[in-house]
Amino acid sequence: MPSLHHTHRQRSSPLTTWLVLGCGLLSACAPPGPPPPLRGATMGTVYTVKVTALPATLSQAELQALVERELQRVNAAMSTYDPQSEISRFNQHRGDDWFPVGRDLAEIVLRARDVGARTAGAFDITVGPLVEAWGFGATGPRDSPPSGAELAAARTVIGMDRLSQRVDPPALRKSVAALQIDLSAIAKGYAVDRVAAALDAAGIHNYLVEIGGELRIRGRRHDGAMWRVGIEQPAPDGRRVQRALPMHRDGAVATSGDYRNFFETNGQRYAHIIDPRTGMPAKHQLASVTVIADNCETADAWATALSVLGTRDGYRLAENEGLAALFMEREGETFAERPTQAFDAWLSAADQSPQETENND
């Protein structure tokens, strides 16, 4: 699973050194630091929430409870690993009648359909049977590719034209009994947005929320500096940071790629991102795609969608859609970066941010 590290710019000035020496006891005069980050397990990965300060009305334990409550709510609707979740019950349902669900689920299907349409079917949340056939689903890994017959069978039960959604009252409907929804490409981003909204509602205005590498920030760090997000080198071994992304304004970042979740057999690499148009794992030079967007659901969906499309088609579409995206391609042992215009504009805006200039000491 792709993931991002948060990097903290190292700053050391003579003034800092003097203050430390002059105080003797650091704790006696250091400004209070932020509360420790909250961490926990969710969605088969880990989450991190950093806030710069707790509101007077909320303890650290209450904040954690608030975050966990939001995550449980999303999982109860969207987790394919929980057989009792709304989505699992819909997946198990065999009828072609309207199946009532919560509004959240109906709406996320609507937005996934939109990204699906914009990518001419490359992004497809009904891809689950193919994900299973390739061994990247709930039934677990396999060490050889599926047979042609298995793939052909899976392809008869996928496609957004076999799924309908209704928002009022919210419900889903399938036209083939075996249709399955897999929201893995978008649910982490959605959950990040829900947690962010809960923090907003609690009066917290400076935070970083991350689930398995998909993240959203608001405001500034406790020292007033921009949040910085490390984009990893898309290599399966090690976790080196390729580039630090300065978050000069509020937004979300998601990364998708084939560099961590894959299997190799007979010298072939098969990754967990499947091209529903061919039934095969997406296969190209592209190692990862990072997308910046206003919300994490959008960033998450597009990062996966562009990974399916690859550099050539994905890059062109990202430019047409005005997306801020960074494509990283394998070039021997190194990685070549291909940013879209909007991604470059994001970096330039960060360079020109007054606060960033101040910190360039």
Contacts with ligand AMP, residue ranges (CB under 6 A): 122-125, 127, 131, 136, 182, 184-185, 256, 272-274, 276, 300, 303-304, 307-308
Half-sphere exposure of 84 (CA within 13 A, CB side): 3
- Residue 300 touches Mg ion, criterion: CB under 5 A: yes
- Residue 210 touches Mg ion, criterion: CB under 5 A: no
**Is 226:248 a contact under the CB 8 Å cutoff?**
yes
- Residue 184 touches Mg ion, criterion: CB under 5 A: no
Q: Of the two residues 233 and 304, which places its CB atom closer to Mg ion in the complex?
A: 304
Output the smallest distance, CB 179 to ligand AMP, in A.
14
State how far the Cα of 32 lies from the Cα of 54, in Å rounded to an integer: 12
Q: Of the two residues 132 and 300, which places its CB atom closer to Mg ion in the complex?
A: 300
State how far the Cα of 216 lies from the Cα of 237, in Å rounded to an integer: 26
274 binds, among ligand AMP, Mg ion, none (CB under 5 to 8 A by kind): ligand AMP
- Secondary structure tally for the chain: helices H, strands E: 11, 18
- Residue 304 touches Mg ion, criterion: CB under 5 A: yes
123 binds, among Mg ion, ligand AMP, none (CB under 5 to 8 A by kind): ligand AMP
232 binds, among Mg ion, ligand AMP, none (CB under 5 to 8 A by kind): none
- Residue 323 touches Mg ion, criterion: CB under 5 A: no
Output the smallest distance, CB 305 to Mg ion, in A.
8
Output the smallest distance, CB 2 to ligand AMP, in A.
6
State how far the Cα of 158 lies from the Cα of 121, in Å rounded to an integer: 11
State how far the Cα of 120 lies from the Cα of 10, in Å rounded to an integer: 44
State how far the Cα of 300 lies from the Cα of 112, in Å rounded to an integer: 11
State how far the Cα of 224 lies from the Cα of 29, in Å rounded to an integer: 18
DSSP assignment of 36-56, as one string? PPEEEEETTEEEEEEES---T
324-331 β-sheet, strand order: 38-42, 45-51, 207-211, 214-218, 251-257, 286-293, 324-331, 334-339
Among the candidate windows 98-106, 155-163, 182-190, 352-360, which touches Mg ion by CB under 5 A?
182-190
Output the smallest distance, CB 92 to ligand AMP, in A.
18
Q: Of the two residues 290 and 304, which places its CB atom closer to Mg ion in the complex?
A: 304
Q: Of the two residues 66 and 122, which places its CB atom closer to ligand AMP in the complex?
A: 122
Output the smallest distance, CB 329 to ligand AMP, in A.
17
Binding residues for Mg ion (CB under 5 A) = 185, 256, 300, 303-304
